[in-house]
A = this chain, B = another copy of it.
């Protein structure tokens, strides 16, 4: 779909404050509530708005450790990629998996309650994944900027 200036305006406001009512939004954008509502619905059905998320502080739930894994796969094994991905997806403590173009193949985020818990996940679940050639782990110290908001 075509995203015009009004849509961008709405998206920007939504990113700034997702809790804003459509009535509020409509006033800010300068259109009627009905029109605003219809635009948001269009953006949702067109897949521009992919979802609504509630952000929860991992620390409040006892997840103190976040580790980035950079994994290189064994290219000699057949179907190395597929079998690895399928197995990795099933690990609950793996928050995200991404394929990368560059010196490594896979990037994964792992959360754990503490270092002992992480060590257990690492040994029992991560190292059990098939076709791993090399792993590099980096621990998150602090998040200094996190803009979900796109530079619209």
Q: Contact: A99 with B144, CB < 8 Å?
A: yes
Q: Contact: A102 with B52, CB < 8 Å?
A: no
Docked complex: A41-58 residues within 8 A CB-CB of B:
46-58
Q: Contact: B97 with A144, CB < 8 Å?
A: yes
Q: Chain B residue with minimal CB distance to A89?
A: B145
Complex Cα spacing A44 to B95, Å: 23
One of B3, B51, B147, B152 near A55 (C-beta < 8 A): B51
20 interchain pairs (CB within 8 A)? A11-B61, A14-B56, A15-B54, A18-B53, A47-B60, A48-B57, A50-B55, A52-B52, A52-B55, A53-B54, A53-B55, A58-B150, A93-B151, A95-B146, A95-B148, A96-B143, A96-B146, A99-B142, A100-B140, A100-B141
Taking beta carbons and an 8 Å cutoff, which residues of A are in contact with B?
1, 3, 8, 11, 14-15, 18-19, 46-58, 60-61, 63, 68, 85, 88-89, 92-104, 107, 111, 136-148, 150-152
